[in-house]
Structure 1
Amino acid sequence: METVYNIDTLNQRIQLLENRQTEEWCSIKDEIEDIKQNLKPLNLIRNTVEEINETVGFKSHLAQSAMSIGIGYLAKRFVVGKSDNMFKGILGSVLQLVVTNLVSQPQ
């Protein structure tokens, strides 16, 4: 940086730096919002399914549907487990349906 010898130039430099700081702060806030969106459980599952599809090469709707159903089933087993309670069974089935539908929907 060059040396500033008058007040007008100094004020201009200060204004430029303040503008730069505001722009960078807005950029940081946007990045944080993107990170928060990506860390939501549903988005984590969707991103994982998409990465698996890209890595393995699943292009057919049948393979993607099978993965969605599998993830829904795992969600049901994780939350409800093996229970003989009818209410828990119904709740688990609804959860499985919801998770399967959410995962299979495009973003």
Structure 2
Amino acid sequence: MQNITSSKELKEAIQLLEVEQAANGQLFKEEFLITLESLKPIKLIEGTLKEIISSPYVTNNLLGTGVGLAAGYFSKKVVVGGSGNILRKLFGSFLQLGVTNLISQHPGAVKSFGMYVIEQIFSKKEGAQEQSE
């Protein structure tokens, strides 16, 4: 910065600094609003969910766990049904736990078995259709 020798130069320098301060203040306000918007709880949750969904490992793991829970629940319902027998309910709970753990820990094997069963069902239908023609 140059030396100021007159009051006119001093006033001009002050005006320049005031304009610069106003511009910096406006930039600061804009950055503050952007930061404030990004720190809202819904934005944090949304960002976290996007990261989780975009990760294939987490998605596959959640899918396997969800299928395991559903299969365990349905296996318990099939075994227990509407029974009031305490031993049957206890057995159903253990069965649910076992099926849930088995499916959630080995989703690839369950998927392969499911594909095999579906393939067998459709191959039987195709064979039956060919014989009827």
Q: Higher helix share goes to which structure?
A: 2
The normalised TM-score by structure 2 is: 0.38
Asked which structure has the greater RCO (Cα within 8 Å, sep 6+), the reply is 1
